[in-house]
Amino acid sequence: MRTSGLWLDVLELPEALQRTLDANAGVDDAIAALRDPSVRRVVATGNGAAYYVAFAIALAALESRQGPELVALPAGVVADPRFAWREGDRLLAISSSGEFKDVVRAIEQGAPRPVVAITANADSTLGRLADAVALQTVLHQRAITHTQALAGALAIGLRIWGGVTGDRELAAVPDDGPTALATAIDVAADWAEGAFAAPLPVAAASFGGGPAWAAALETALLLKEIARIPAEGAETREGATSVMYGLNPQHLVLALGTEGDPGFAEAVDVCGATGATVVTVPGGTNVDRRYAFATLLPATCAASGVLANLGGHDIDNPTWTDAYYATARASGKATP
């Protein structure tokens, strides 16, 4: 796992994020586009990890009483011709490549203007179609799995929404991100290599509270994507009251602890009582939980990588790669 492209990408997280924050490219333009008094609702969208970033931003926004409504929806919903835009709507489109076809289709089918994009590629289709483009820095993406793109998009999104709402505290949340990520990376690999062993679980679940609910969805994606283990992600209370229904001793639960999650200990106990192996993931405490989605990422990537090695899977080039690009990109190919 330590020699994989995925882990090399993770090691660069602090530097990539710092460059994103220092550049602050396009953030002011994005804020201006969404702060207009005519804006009533912002629809944030993306696919996979990008959608989970949108969801994390929307969950963080629930902790503020200011600004317009912010909702997060998968790109497939927003690109559906039956999706009804309302007066005062705006689109916040998230795609690191800028080529995810449903995000592009949503704009081409008449999303209200101005459209705001968060991307790593200003020259992409999304970058050209959007009216305001906030740029993130991705130093490398050796693995197909998104890491630097996730951390950067979340930071930019929180800065934008803090600016839109006038919530300076929210806008400043990502500022400590590089240091927090470096701390999380320091413990992640050793933790993962000591936490998991054969036999592999037949299925898995994850849960987290508040904005870490989005992290639970991403963790489940990583387990499916990298370790090829069927998994679901849930909010903490749902972990204790619905996820636990199907658990047994062959299953794994990754518990994503964050500061002030009132139901976390009970969910751990309830899931553990089923006989499932419950593992608490480091990286989500001692940080603002609105950025914990990113600081939990080193450990969840490390866990997925260790489990992938145990299962004999290629961490960086899973077997589903070609099928993904065929359906996700308009070109049917990976974006350079």
pLDDT digits (tens, 9 = 90+) for 129-182: 999 999 999 999 999 999 999 999 999 999 999 999 999 999 999 999 999 999
User: Max Cα separation, the chain?
Assistant: 57
Note whether residue 322 is domain-resident.
no
- Within this chain, do residues 137 and 244 fall inside the same structural domain, yes or no? no
Structure tokens at 268: 């751990």
CA 225: distance to chain centroid?
14
DSSP state letter for 100: B
Beta strands in the chain (DSSP E): 41-46, 69-74, 89-94, 116-119, 132-135, 203-208, 231-235, 251-256, 277-281
- Within this chain, do residues 122 and 225 fall inside the same structural domain, yes or no? no
Q: Please, which pLDDT band fits residue 334 given cuts at 50, 70 and 90?
A: low
Note whether residue 86 is domain-resident.
yes
- Within this chain, do residues 139 and 239 fall inside the same structural domain, yes or no? no
Cα atoms found within 13 Å of the Cα of residue 267, Cβ hemisphere only: 26
- Within this chain, do residues 239 and 107 fall inside the same structural domain, yes or no? no
The single residue listed with the structure tokens 């500061």 is: 259
Note whether residue 217 is domain-resident.
yes
**What's the mean per-residue pLDDT of the chain?**
96
Range of the domain at 288: 178-311
Note whether residue 332 is domain-resident.
no
pLDDT digits (tens, 9 = 90+) for 84-108: 999 999 999 999 999 999 999 999 9
- Within this chain, do residues 147 and 47 fall inside the same structural domain, yes or no? yes
For residue 234, give the CATH number of its domain: 3.40.50.10490
Q: What is the pLDDT of residue 64?
A: 86
Note whether residue 330 is domain-resident.
no
Q: Is the pLDDT of residue 327 over 90?
A: no
Note whether residue 317 is domain-resident.
no
DSSP state letter for 243: G
Q: Please, which pLDDT band fits residue 333 given cuts at 50, 70 and 90?
A: low
